[in-house]
Each structure stands twice: as C-alpha cells, then as structure tokens.
Amino acid sequence: MVPNISQTANDFAGVTDDVTTCACDAVRSSTARAIGVGVPGTGGAGKIPGVVGHIATAPTGGARPGAARQETIMFKDFIIAGVGGQGGLLATSVLARVFAKAGFDVKTSEVHGMAQRGGTVISYVRRGQKVYSPLVPSGEADVILGLEILEAYRQLPELKVGGLVLTSDERIKPVPVIMGQAQYPDIRPEWFLSRAGRVLVIPALNKAREAGNVRAANTVCLGALSRFLEIPADVWKETIAETVPPKAVDVNLKAFEIGRALAGTGS
Amino acid sequence: MAHGHVKEARATRALLYGNEAIARGAWEAGVKVAAGYPGTPSTEIIESLAGYDGIHVEWSTNEKVALEVAIGASIGGVRALATMKHVGLNVAADPLMTVSYMGVNAGLVIVTADDPGMHSSQNEQDNRWYGRFASVPVLEPSDSAEALYFTKQAFEISEKFDVPVIVRSVTRISHARSLVELGDRVEPEPRPYRKDPRKYVMLPAHARGRKPQVVARVRELQQFASESPINRLEWGSTERGFITGGISYQYVKEAFPDASVLKLGISYPLPERLIKDFASKVRVLYVVEELDPFWEDLVKAMGISCHGKDVFPQVGELSRDYIIAGVEKIEGAMAVRFRSPEAASQGARPAGQRRQERGPEGGPEQGTLPGPGDLPPRPPVLCPGCPHRPVFYVLKKLGLTVTGDIGCYTLGALPPLSAKDTTTCMGASIGHASGMSLGLPPEQASRVVAVIGDSTFLHSGLTPLINMAYNRVWRPVIILDNGTTAMTGHQGHPGTGYDARKKPAPRISLEEIASACGAKSVSVVDPYDVKSLERTIREALKEPASVVITSRPCILLPRQEPKKRLIFKAELCRECGLCMQPACPALEPDGKRPRVNEVLCTACGVCAEICPRNALVVTEAEEVR
C-alpha cells in the first residue's frame, strides 16, 4: 500500500527541475516569485530579479548538491498557516485525504480557537509508513503552506533548515495593526531563506478570483503545492471534488489547475 | 460543519477526527440516545451523530441535563451516550456521583473532552480524577481508531460491570484525524426495565446498600484491567520502560520507538498486577502523562519507584521533545538517541511555547530579520458586524463594572474594549453581579451589570436570576441574544427554534423567562441601534431589577437582508476618532480618519450611529455609482 519512497524520489527528481524552472518563468511574467532554488545546476536562478537565495548562499540542508532531491521525498510533515475564515482547515482536509488515498498513514491536528474568525489558524498534516504524534515536532516541518504571508513567516522557526515555504502573498492585517499599535512587516520572500531552502510566493487571491471565487485561494495554494509532491494530479482532483461543497467543485478544480500551473508546467 | 462521515460510512477505511470516531463507535455499538451540550473540543461528537438516522440526538440545555437524559435512557433499556467538554462534567458531576451507585441497565457512556493547554477553555482540569472520584472506569484512546474501538468497548464494559463508563478525549484526539476501520452497527435488544427502587431510588438506605458494591466493583475492574487487551504491553529494550496512555503514548513512541511501553487504555482503575510485572522487568521506569501525576501517584502507592513529574511538565500539553528532555535529565543527553540530529542540537521546544522561544536562525541574514517576538500578534477578535461589539462599546463608555460569562463575548475583555471584570464559568455572571454589589461600596455597587449570552443564559443563567429576585440582590442583566451558540460553531439551543438536527423546534422566549423570574423591567433592543442601546442601559441602571435583551443574529449566520454598503464622506469628518472606539477590524485608521475596509465591512452601521457628523453613512449597495 505504501509507495516505495526511494523509487518515488527518482520519479520526482525531474519534476523538481520543472518546478524550479517554471517558477522562474513565473517570476518573469509577474505571476509568482520563486527564490532560494534548491536544485543545483539551474544557474539561471541567480539572474532572476529579486532572488537573493542563490544555491551557494542558502543555509545548510537544502544547499548541498543532492540534498534537495533527498529532501523532496522527505516532504512528510506539513504546517498549514492562515487566518480564520481562509479555508485552512479545508486545505488540511484535502491534503490529508490525498495522502490517505495514496496509501500513507496520515495524521492531522488543528486547534479550534476562541473566535470564529480573525485569529491565527494553524494545522498540521503528517504522513509516512507509520505516524505516531499528530504534532509536527518544532523546527522539523518539511513544508510550510501559507495562506497569509505573515502567518507563514510566523511559523518559520517551525520549518526545518532547507525546507520548503509556499505561501500566498495575501496580507490580512491583525487588529493591533488596524489599531495603529503595530506595523504589518514588509515581509519579503528572501526573509524566508533564513531557514528555507526554497520559497514560492504566489498571488493566490488574484488567481482564485480568476478561477471564479476568491474563497478558492486555499485551493490555488494546494495546486502549487501539488507540483512539489509525487502524487498524481488526478488523485488531488478526485479528493478536491469529494471534499469541497458540491456547488464549489468546478471553481476549486479550476483554482487547483491555476495553482499547479503557477508552480510549474505540465498536467 | 460538514463532515464526510456519511459518505465515508460505505467505505471500510476512513480518515476521521477523534470526535467523528467516537460518534461512529457509539453508532456501531447501537447507541439509541445521545445528548450533549456544545463545548470545545467535544462539540462535533453530537454534530456527527446528528448525521446518522434512527437514533435520538439532542443538544440538551446543559451537561447535567444531558447526563440525566442519558441515565434515563439507560434505565429505560437502550444504550445511551452523554458528551461534554471537561468543565461540562463539573456541571454533570452531581448525577455522575450517584449514577455510580445506581449502575446501569443498558450501556451508559460519558465522553469528556479535556483541553490540556487551554486552547479554548478557562482551566485545564484533568478529568481522569472523576474516574477515581466516582469509582467508575475511564477509557482513554490514543488516536481515532482507538476512539472508535474504545467507545464500543465502553458500552460492553458498562453492561458487564453495571457501571457508567467515562471515555476521556483531549484536543489532540478530538481535533486530530487518523485512519480508522469502519464496522457495522449492532442493534442490541432493548433490555427490559424492571422496577427496582433499591437500584434506582437512591434514598439513604438504598445508597448504603449499593456502596459496598461500588467498592467491590473497582476491584473487579482492576482485575479486568490486568487481563483486557485494552491495556497493552509493547516489549522493546528493557533499559527503560514507559507507563503511558492516551495522546502521551504517541509522543513516547515517536521519541523512543524501541522502548518497552505499558500502554494504558484504561486510565482508571490501574492494572496493578500488570504494572508490578512491567516495573520489575525494566531498568528505569517513567510514567508519562499530561497534566496531573494521576498514574504516577497510584504507581508510587504500589511501592514502585518511578520518574514522572520530577522530569516531565505538569502544565499544558506534552510533546515528543518534552519526553526526550525529561529522559535526558535522568540518563544524560549521551544516553538518549533519536532520529533527528537537528532536534538534538536545539534541545526541547515544547508545543505551545515554541514559537516564542527563538527567531528565524541559521540563515545568512540572521540577526537582521524580525523574529516571532517582533511580529504583530493576531489575537482572536469579535467579527466585523458582531452584535456584541456595540454593547461593550456602551458598557465601556458608561464606565460600568461588568461581570461576564462564557462565549465569544469573552473577547470583550481584551483591549481596546476592555469592558469586562470577571469570567469564571457558565452562568457565573449573574451570581457574581449580586455578590459584587454586596461587596462593593454603594457608589461602585450601583455600577455593576452582568452580561451573558443567550445559550449560556439558558444553560445556567435562570437559577441565579431567580436568586436575584428572591434575595433582592438585583443588578441589571444584559442577555446578548445572537440567536445561536456561536462560539462552538452555531449549535441550536431552546431559544433558537431549531434542534440538533437543524429541524424546527419550539422557541423559548427569553423575555417571558425574564419576566417570570421576577424582573420588573424587561427590554429588547437592537444593539446596532447604539443610541437606543445606550438609553436602555442607562434606564436599567436606575431599575436594578431589569433584564435587557440585545437582540440581533450572529453576523456569521446566513442573512437575507439587502446588500448595504458603508460610505465615508471625508468632507464631513472632524477627526474626532469616536467611530474607531468600538475597535471594528473593518474600520482602519488613516491618520486620524477612518478608512473602510470593504472586504471586511458588513455595513452594520454601528460606527455610523456613533459618528456625530454623519460622515459615515450606510446606503443600499445599488445607490453607489
């Protein structure tokens, strides 16, 4: 039932190159900004405007040749970070079900906070042959999936060095900022490179609008994430169709495709 | 909340929340009656059961009523379930302590969902104590598969030992998902009811007759615990052994996958024979449990020495890293080997506290980037358009002392509204208001009001209101009626007009209840009408025997009103800043002026009501350009 992990790694290596290259294309067309390239030999990365996280200067872990590929197959612990009302829990559901369908053991954990909306919402998804704790150990997350960039950055200490950050560029002001008591930090993609090996910042909200509903921004992010995982797109689409409300299926499938295209070519 | 359980019921394997798994387990066990009161993290058990046909599922008015309904169903001959959060069992403790003497007819299971770490609770009490307190067994699952299986087993144990059984969950079980195998439902024959006053009428003589059986039953259950597969031995290296259970088991296994573990599925009573045997075979013994040293004390009372709260925290949730750190304290870092070299170099960073402990590190720009402590926090807030906001605005404006209660509106305590003086437990606001007015000097006493939500009022606000009337210790009571149990996700209650299955139900009138309880003045006011609201509260201060009902549905409930829009007319603004005092997230400061955040704004018009210059205006959406 459980995929052979090392084999999957080899299958996935090519995809990694696609992701990197295509993310660079995306930068040129101003639809996405990708930096901190974790795959050696794509020298073009250094020429991309705004890219500071060249392979040579990235921190340990993702920096070593070969390490990136190894790390790719190690994507098993995910943190999904967002704000109440953004659909983080739905994204958690989809991701977990995708892994379950692919034959992995899966656990998720989330906290239903004090208020219906407006607070930070963090959830965890873990997969593997056998998963014990539903909590991702601190500083060992393989991936941060951000639905809001401040919340993604807030979780950065939870990422393992060399891990992947994929986040929407959406900025939602917390109340202290609205009240003028604090500044919303001008988070730049390269900030994530203090731990991340790879960073992808995508205009998920705008892309969701293109798909037909701003509320599908979470699915745009999942689409982008899907390019970094070895699981076939069909499994994702089937899962999305089963998980979102019936009348939202079409919009979400479109959002998924748009997100997937943002992070790479193909399918 | 839409759960996939109905769809997945046809499959044999499903990814379920612990709460969905408990519901599924109860359903498979043939439960006929399920009753609960909403409370994080327990709420989804009843919500999930409401998706199954052929059983009675209800939101009871409170946890005590829920348990009493379940006890009655059990006596009547069908399997019954009562669900609640940890503090809910305090409310239900009265029937619990005595149903222990009575025992059951058909199986009776009580689910308590505890909240270590207090993600959404006012305390983190450890409800395993209720097992020992009431002499009833406590089962504690460590994932969703066990949540399903243990719930089924709990009904069997209940009937076998003539005892109510507690299933204890925690946030990381209830709100975590893992894979389960689904089974079919059994339909047990209803057990005939035989009138038996010695068993079911607990007058002193009968209760004295039952007490020896309660004591003997614990011994029988102890024996059962040593034999039951619900407690499990996992032998590995005998260098160290762990006695653990529930979610702590997962953290232990992740930290030390090869260690020997005695996994307790039955948290009370403990399997003494099994524990003594296990302890004799391992070199160093650790007892790992979240919150209180409940097992540790019992193990030590068996004459066994072990490590527990000397090295593991008693506060908040545990984590893999806490287990590692604790063992390191005894055995030294060199003796402890685990999979992540990075974690080893960084030491333990327990869940819940970890984000505050350090900034991004190890990168090229270390030291120049803001760390987590430098980032603006994102506290939960009253939603834009929340009907509670104008109430707290007025209470703050009038400088009143406000005894509060449990619900979203607890957030009215946070700055900048800061309009609350107390929050204790469900229904406490009203008694507190009486008591504070008795304790304070007269001038201050006359400024005390109580604030309570509609669901909370019906849960446990009636008796203290009657108490105010009877003892003539009135203070104005403001019932925030948003027509739902909002904080836990919009469950029905007797004032909403719909039930646990969202079917129409009789609607209890809060006004009539308030009058019947003896209030001399009962007013209903729309909180969006801030001027009327302020006038009504001012009036209430003159007549302490008054109840003010602020009536406006929760902004998150579906609405049929025409689309409206808030317009800011900059030319009229005199920069007084009044409009921003209610602290609505949809009104951002732009210098000294407001700027409307069109995405967030619900056009509730509260700020427009407050503006003395009519610079903020609510208009029909079509009128704008």
CB-based contact, A65 to chain B, within 8 Å: no
**Contact (CB<8Å) B342/A155:** no
Q: Which of A22-31, B183-192, B322-331, B497-506 has the lowest mean pLDDT?
A: A22-31
**Contact (CB<8Å) B40/A112:** yes
CA distances from B148 to B8, B79, B80, B173 (A): 14, 16, 15, 11
Helix intervals (H) in B239-369? 246-255, 272-281, 294-301, 320-331, 341-346, 354-357
Q: Name residues 310-339 of chain B within 8 A of A (Cβ).
A: 319-321
**Contact (CB<8Å) A182/B380:** no
Q: For residue B201, give how far its alpha carbon lies from the nearest alpha carbon of chain A (Å).
A: 41
* Three-class secondary structure assignment of B91-149: HCHHHHHHHHHHCCCCCEEEEEEECCCCCCCCCCCCCHHHHHHHCCCEECCCCHHHHHH
**Contact (CB<8Å) A195/B370:** no
For Cα atoms A14, A17, A20, give the angle at the middle one, nearest 5 degrees. 150
Residue B543, pLDDT score: 96
User: What is the average pLDDT across A63-82?
Assistant: 62
Residue B349, pLDDT score: 45
Contact of A195 with A163, CB cutoff 8 Å = yes
Residue A114, pLDDT score: 54
Q: Binning pLDDT at 50, 70 and 90, where does residue A74 land?
A: low
The chain B residue lying nearest A139, using CA atoms, is B343
* A138 vs B contacts (CB less than 8 Å): 319, 321, 343, 349-351, 354
Residue B622, pLDDT score: 61
* B177 vs A contacts (CB less than 8 Å): 96, 106-109, 134
Q: Measure the CA–CA gap between B210 and B98, rounded to whole angstroms.
A: 10
Q: Measure the CA–CA gap between A242 and B538, rounded to whole angstroms.
A: 54
**Contact (CB<8Å) A176/B377:** yes
Q: Helix and strand tally (H, E) in chain A?
A: 9, 7
User: What is the average pLDDT across B522-527?
Assistant: 98
Q: Which of B519, B552, B523, B512 is nearest to B430 (CA)?
A: B519
Q: Name residues 105-124 of chain A within 8 A of B (Cβ).
A: 105-120
Q: For residue B310, give how far its alpha carbon lies from the nearest alpha carbon of chain A (Å).
A: 23
CB-based contact, B212 to chain A, within 8 Å: no
Residues pairing with B394 in the sheet: none
For chain B, the distance separating the N- and C-terminal CA atoms, rounded to the nearest angstrom, is 38
Q: For residue B214, give how far its alpha carbon lies from the nearest alpha carbon of chain A (Å).
A: 37
Residue B6, pLDDT score: 45
Q: Which of B268, B274, B273, B179 is nearest to B232 (CA)?
A: B274
**Contact (CB<8Å) B120/A114:** yes
8-state DSSP, B86: H
The structural domains of chain A, ordered by start, are 5-206 (3.40.920)
Q: Measure the CA–CA gap between B53 and B57, rounded to whole angstroms.
A: 9
Residue B339 has pLDDT above 70, yes or no: no
Enclosing H/E stretch for B260: strand B259-264
User: What is the average pLDDT across B239-261?
Assistant: 97
Q: Measure the CA–CA gap between B233 and B228, rounded to whole angstroms.
A: 11
The structural domains of chain B, ordered by start, are 4-227 (3.40.50.970), 232-346 (3.40.50.920), 388-551 (3.40.50.970), 564-620 (3.30.70.20)
Joined together, the tokens standing for residue B11 give: 């499959």
Mutual orientation of helices B320-331 and B246-255 as an angle, nearest 10°?
60
Residue A55 has pLDDT above 90, yes or no: no
A176/B450: higher pLDDT:
B450
CB-based contact, A128 to chain B, within 8 Å: no
Joined together, the tokens standing for residue B527 give: 């909180």
Residue B599, pLDDT score: 78
Residue B373, pLDDT score: 83
Q: Name residues 189-228 of chain A within 8 A of B (Cβ).
A: 190-191, 193-195
Q: Strand B176-181 and strand A105-110: pairing?
A: antiparallel
ipTM of the complex: 0.90
The torsion defined by the Cα of A26, A32, A33 and A35, in degrees rounded to 10, comes to -70
Enclosing H/E stretch for A201: strand A198-202
- Identify from B244, B354, B369 which residue to disrupt to test chain A contact, counting A C-beta atoms within 10 A and taking the largest count: B369
Long-range contacts from B202-206, C-beta under 8 angstroms, 24+ separation: B202/B98, B202/B101, B202/B102
**Contact (CB<8Å) B380/A97:** no
Q: Among A108, A115, A194, select the one facing B408 at the smallest CB separation.
A: A115
**Contact (CB<8Å) B360/A157:** yes
Q: Measure the CA–CA gap between B284 and B237, rounded to whole angstroms.
A: 11
For Cα atoms B409, B411, B412, give the angle at the middle one, nearest 5 degrees. 75
The chain A residue lying nearest B379, using CA atoms, is A119
Residues 6+ apart with CB under 8 A from B53: none
CB-CB neighbours of B128 under 10 Å: 24
pLDDT digits (tens, 9 = 90+) for B172-215: 999 999 999 999 999 999 999 999 999 999 999 999 999 999 99
Query: In whole angstroms, how large is the CA radius of gyration of chain B?
Result: 27
User: What is the average pLDDT across A3-32?
Assistant: 33
* A206 vs B contacts (CB less than 8 Å): none
User: What is the average pLDDT across A81-94?
Assistant: 93
* B253 vs A contacts (CB less than 8 Å): 132-133
CB-based contact, A153 to chain B, within 8 Å: yes
* B379 vs A contacts (CB less than 8 Å): 119, 174-176
**Contact (CB<8Å) B589/A178:** yes
Q: For residue A14, give how far its alpha carbon lies from the nearest alpha carbon of chain B (Å).
A: 27
CB-based contact, A104 to chain B, within 8 Å: no
CB-based contact, B177 to chain A, within 8 Å: yes
Percentage of chain B modeled with pLDDT above 70: 92
CB-based contact, A243 to chain B, within 8 Å: yes
CB-based contact, B18 to chain A, within 8 Å: no
User: What is the average pLDDT across B359-363?
Assistant: 42
Residue A6, pLDDT score: 32
Q: Measure the CA–CA gap between B186 and B54, rounded to whole angstroms.
A: 13
- Identify from A112, A125, A170, A192 which residue to disrupt to test chain B contact, counting B C-beta atoms within 10 A and taking the largest count: A112
Burial (0-12, 13-18, 19+ Cβ within 10 Å), A95 = buried
pLDDT digits (tens, 9 = 90+) for B405-436: 999 999 999 888 999 999 999 999 999 999 99
Q: Strand B546-551 and strand B477-481: pairing?
A: parallel
Residue B131 has pLDDT above 90, yes or no: yes
